[in-house]
């Protein structure tokens, strides 16, 4: 669970403080183990020309990153990973870690996981926590090669997907206002690192994954994109990228 979700503050099952010597190796081992098999892409365009760069999904709560990531991984024939899940396996539950060690330590540990996952040579689909873009180090890494999809969503649909905030204490009282504030604070960071923006409102996970696959094929990310040539999200195909 993400700290954004406000799920609990128990100190049970706490893992060591961040940046122990074994952390990077543990994350790398987890990622390599899950990307060690060869998958057959469901989309034939990627059978002939497999992707050669990581595909990263960013966006606010309720934008569908994890669900879309799994669908997209099947289309591309690569593993789909979620950095929150990796964090849980290495450090224990995020809310407990966040409560005990504080946000700066959490963000540093989160960034370490993102950077390690990106460093593994095999291409993957990587879904990031909603607040991961707060880290300047993470943002720098996202500007240096991955194809980054910012999954945007409107407030009404996000809250519907989140069950109106039920079970998420951070959204208690006024879920809409809190969600709106968090998204507003981070939107410029999402756009700063995004290769393109895809609005998920009104679309199911399969449709969003197919839209991203179309963009990947059109941008020929079978070869690493040159950083100076990265286009602004608003320059992408109007019908597909908004």
Annotated binding-site residues for ATP read 62-67, 168
- Sheet with 196-199: list strands edge to edge: 80-82, 125-127, 55-58, 147-152, 196-199
Annotated binding-site residue numbers for substrate: 84, 107, 130, 186
Report the sign of the C-alpha dihedral through residues 128, 204, 62, 183, in that order. positive
Residue 129, both tokens = 């926590």
* Rounded alpha-carbon distances, angstroms, from residue 175 to 44, 153, 213, 239: 42, 15, 32, 31
Round to whole Å and give the CA distance between 89 and 75: 26
Instruction: Spell out the residues 6+ positions from residue 23 whose beta carbon is closer than 8 angstroms to its own.
Output: 90, 109, 112
Query: Of 60, 56, 5, 2, nearest to 187 (Cα)?
Result: 60
Largest CA distance in the chain: 51
Annotated binding-site residue numbers for Mg(2+): 66
Annotated binding-site residue numbers: 62-67, 84, 107, 130, 168, 186
């Amino acid at each position: 669970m993400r700290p954004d979700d406000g799920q609990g503050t128990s100190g049970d099952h706490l893992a060591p403080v961040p940046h122990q010597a074994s952390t990077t190796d543990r994350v790398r081992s987890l990622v390599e183990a899950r990307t060690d098999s060869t998958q057959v892409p469901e989309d034939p365009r990627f059978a002939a020309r497999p992707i050669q760069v990581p595909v990263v999904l960013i966006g606010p709560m309720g934008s569908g990153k994890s669900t879309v990531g799994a669908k997209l991984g099947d289309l591309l024939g690569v593993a789909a990973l979620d950095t929150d899940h990796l964090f849980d396996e290495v450090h224990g539950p995020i809310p407990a870690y966040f409560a005990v060690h504080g946000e700066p330590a959490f963000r540093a540990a989160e960034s370490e996981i993102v950077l390690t996952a990106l460093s593994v040579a095999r291409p993957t689909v990587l879904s990031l926590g909603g607040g991961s873009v707060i880290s300047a180090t993470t943002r720098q890494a996202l500007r240096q090669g991955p194809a980054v999809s910012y999954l945007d969503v409107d407030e009404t649909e996000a809250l519907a997907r989140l069950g109106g905030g039920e079970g998420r204490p951070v959204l208690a009282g006024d879920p809409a206002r809190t969600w709106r504030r968090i998204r507003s604070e981070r939107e410029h960071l999402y756009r700063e690192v995004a290769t393109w923006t895809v609005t998920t409102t009104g679309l199911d996970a399969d449709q969003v994954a197919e839209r991203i696959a179309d963009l990947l094929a059109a941008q020929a990310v079978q070869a690493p994109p040159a950083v100076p040539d990265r286009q602004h999200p608003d320059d992408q195909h109007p019908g597909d990228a908004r």
